Structure formats: structure tokens, C-alpha cells
Structure 1
Amino acid sequence: MTVLSLQDASLSLSSNAGKVDILHGITLSVSAGESVGLIGPSGSGKSSLLMVMGGLEQATGGKVTALDQDLTRMDEDALARFRRNNMGVVFQSFHLIPTMTAVENIATPLELAGEVDAFDRARAELEAVGLGHRADHYPSQLSGGEQQRVALARAAAPRPRILLADEPTGNLDESTGAAIMDLLFGLRDRHGATLVMVTHAPELAARCDRVVRLRDGRIEDAA
């Protein structure tokens, strides 16, 4: 079953110098339960492609489908609801709410989705990433690796069918990054989610079922 599909998708953005073409005619399908690594040099369009897959950037051409829903036809509110119900997103910068504790950061999207057991599920996800004892700590009281664990738990708590990760180890040292990757793949396996990950690290991409290489906004290889 195809979970994500891009058909001749393109992305152009406006700048002071005029229109900038970021992605050119991307055609790509991702199957249910598959893990895909997006690699390529800086500026190749990896993160932009991930954002288009998640509806965080609207494709300016072509078609983007996720779980049989046409993201290119949705407005911002519809896209936000779709992500809330179906996607977990992990960024290089952790994007935790600084005035909320770890457990509150994880529970918030669950509460917004109307889950009555939001805090119980949030604490269970914290335990799953080894941070049950840090539930009441604020982001400023956590190390970078701990903050990324909280971000992973927040992404996984709604049990999304799709996990998108943009350089999830980019701000971490090698050993901490390796531990985060173990957790990310563990969450993928535990929830049966489809994983698409941007990374500069070939050894991390090699852990994926398939690697897609981009260059200059085009797919160079999708072996």
C-alpha cells in the first residue's frame, strides 16, 4: 500500500531576486511501513522535499498525496488537522515549548486531539524513551539529547502512521545521535509507522530500507 506519493511535484519560492526553484518534478512513492532516507549535499532540496511531504510547504506544481488524501487541495487548517491525526514530525531543532514540562510538551498535541488519557499516554512515551524520571523538568533543564528524546516521544505519542524526521541527530554528538536513531527506529517499529528521514550521515541512511539521493532539487537516485 502506498502511503506517500508525489507526482511531478515542484516547489518555487519568491525572493528579493525573484522566483527561486527549489524542487523540480519530483515523482516518488513510499510504501506502508517503509523507511526512506533522503540524502544529498546542502541545498539539494532534502528538507524542502520532507516539508512538501508533510504539507508544511505547499507544492507549487504537481500533486502530493498522503494516505489517499490530496494535500495540494487542502488549506492550512485542513493540513494542520491532517498532520495532527496522521503524522509525527521531528526537527533538528527540538521545538519544545519552554514554559511546559517534558510531559506537558508531549501531552499537549494529545489534548488538542481530544484524547482523554493524554497525560497517561505522555508519561508512557517518556518511559519508552528512558525519561520517565524527567517528566516534570523543563526543556532548559534537559540536555540536547534529552530534549530530542522528548521531541521523539511527542511525535510518537499520537501513534502516527507517518513519521517525518529532518536531521534528527544534527545538533547532537555522535554517541547521543546514535542513541536517538535507535529510539527513532524503535518507535517506528513499535507503532508500525512509515518513516522518511533527512540526514547528512550515510551510516544513518544505510539503516533505512531505501535511500533517495537528491541534487539540485531533483532525484538523482532512488535505489
Structure 2
Amino acid sequence: MPDSLNHVPPTGPAGRGATDGAPLIEARNLSFRVVGAGGEVNILRGVDLSIGRGEAVGIVGPSGSGKTTLLMLLAGLERATGGTLRVAGEELAAMDEDALARFRRDNLGIVFQSFHLVPTMTALENVAIPLEFAGRADAFERAEAALRSVGLAHRLRHYPGQLSGGEQQRVALARAFVAEPKLLLADEPTGNLDRATGDKVMDLLFEMRARFGTTLLLITHDPALAERCERQVRVGDGLIVADSALVAA
């Protein structure tokens, strides 16, 4: 396994990539609205949020409250319609689509409920994608190491359709972490898995997050998963209605 995948940087708010006291995420009066046949809908209505480097934050709240929209804005997959947003020192509103793609490549890992693997690519090829985009000559070597780290050394040449749901999500985890991102965004990562399989996947996610000192934002409806984070942010009706640190017993 390459040395960089074995490296264990400091965790906590001063974790990987921290060069000063600036937060990794800084949102001020962030809003997002859409206009449909029924008129204007305000999905986010003035969100203020600061996330320190290395934090693990659970984002909770009812369906339709704006959690996934917030994640899409943080990833640069949607553009805010108001307010300011800085992630990893970058003002996302100032970027064009090419710059946003490079920003995601260099800073983010994303894990979705539905895996989002390319069905015509093997597990190895799926994990190598972000490294190939970055022009890494060792893309497949590092991808193989990442798959070994999630227990899938025996599945390198298998296609997503040949893998179980839990195996597909482990491939997605390997892909998300292979470039050692500053920020991991996870949207209901166990939503399509049974409880036992989901617990194993989350054990891996938190283990890898600790190994790399990655900042984690985890959207979940599962209180037990949210409680594994250091902090919980509750979203309701497009606003942050509670923000509390969790204190270990």
C-alpha cells in the first residue's frame, strides 16, 4: 500500500490541511430558492454555518427540510441564490463550472445513498476515476490499495452489478477517500443497506475519516449514526434550528 494511504495525520479541528484557524466551511445567510409552476419555493432561507477542519458533523432533520440541498451547495453541484459560501478557502460563487469541477476533484469526497458507480466499469476503474481526472500516473496502484483497505481485494475486476449493496457502498467509500479529500459529504450512506451491513459500512467510513483527518458532514435520519459525530446540526424548514456539540459520557 502506498505510504500516503498508511499515513495517519492529526484529527480533530486542527486536522488534515489546517494551516490556520480558518474554518473549512463558512456559510453566511445562505439561501436557495426555485421557481416552479406554483411559484417561488424557498428551500434554504438564510443558513449560517461554520465547520472547523477535522470536525465530524451530523446533519439531521425531517424530509424536505433542506439537508440535501445544503450538501449540494457545499459540493458546488447547485449554486446558492443568496448569501456567501466559502469551502476550503474558496468562494464558490466566484467559480465557473470548470473551476467547480476542479474544486471537487481537489477537495471533496462524496458518498450517496444510491452508490453512483459507473456500471460499465470495474470496481478498480471506478475508484481510479478521480485520480485519473487529476492526472495521477499511479491512479490504478492507489485505487487497488484503497479497495484493499475496505476489504475488497478479491473484487477488483468485478462490475457493480456483480457486487452486493454493501460491497458497492464500500467501493464508493474507497473512491471517496482515495484522493484523501479535505471534506467528505455523505448523504444517507446506509439508506439502501440492511442494518448489519450499514453498521459495517459506517465503521469503515469513520475509521477512514479518522485515518485521514477528513472533515465529515453526514446527513442521516438515524439518531445512532448522528450520535457518532462530534456535533449535530438540525435543519428545519430551510433554517438551522439547533447546533450542539455531543459530549461523550
TM-score (norm 2): 0.88
Q: Percent same amino acid at aligned positions? A: 58
Paired residue type of 1:161: K
Matched, 1:60 2:81: yes
Q: Map residues 70-81 of structure 1 onto 2, 5 A cutoff.
A: 70-81=91-102
Matching residue of 2:174: 153
Q: Determine if the alignment matches structure 1 residue 186 to structure 2 residue 207.
A: yes
Structure 1 residue 14 and structure 2 residue 35: aligned? yes
Matches within 5 A, 1:49-128: 49-128=70-149
Secondary structure of 1:222's aligned partner: strand
CA-to-aligned-CA distance 1:67-121 (integer Å, 9 cap, x gap): 1110111111111110001100111111100000000000111111011100010
Unaligned runs of 5+ in 1: none
- 1:141-165 CA-to-partner distances (Å, cap 9, x unmatched) read 0001100000010010011011000
Alignment correspondent of 1:221: 242
Aligned mates of 1:78, 1:88 — CA distance in 2: 16
- For residue 58 of structure 2, what is the aligned residue in structure 1? 37
Letter of the structure 2 residue corresponding to residue 18 of structure 1: G
What is the number of equivalent residue pairs in this alignment? Answer: 223
Q: Distance in 2 between matches of 1:118 and 1:82?
A: 19
Residue 176 in structure 1 maps to residue 197 in structure 2: yes
| RMSD across aligned positions (CA) | 0.7
Counterpart Cα distance in 1 of 2:149 and 2:134: 21
1:14: Cα distance to partner? 2.2
Give distance in 1, aligned partners of 2:243 and 2:129.
37
**Distance in 2 (alpha carbons) for counterparts of 1:159 and 1:140:** 27
Distance (Å, rounded) in 2 between the aligned partners of 1:57 and 1:187? 27
Letter in structure 2 aligned against 1:46: K
Residues 4-32 of structure 1: CA distance to partner in whole angstroms, max 9, x if unpaired? 11011000112222221100100000001
**Offset at residue 48 of structure 1 (A):** 0.7
> Runs of 5+ in structure 2 lacking a partner?
1-20, 245-249
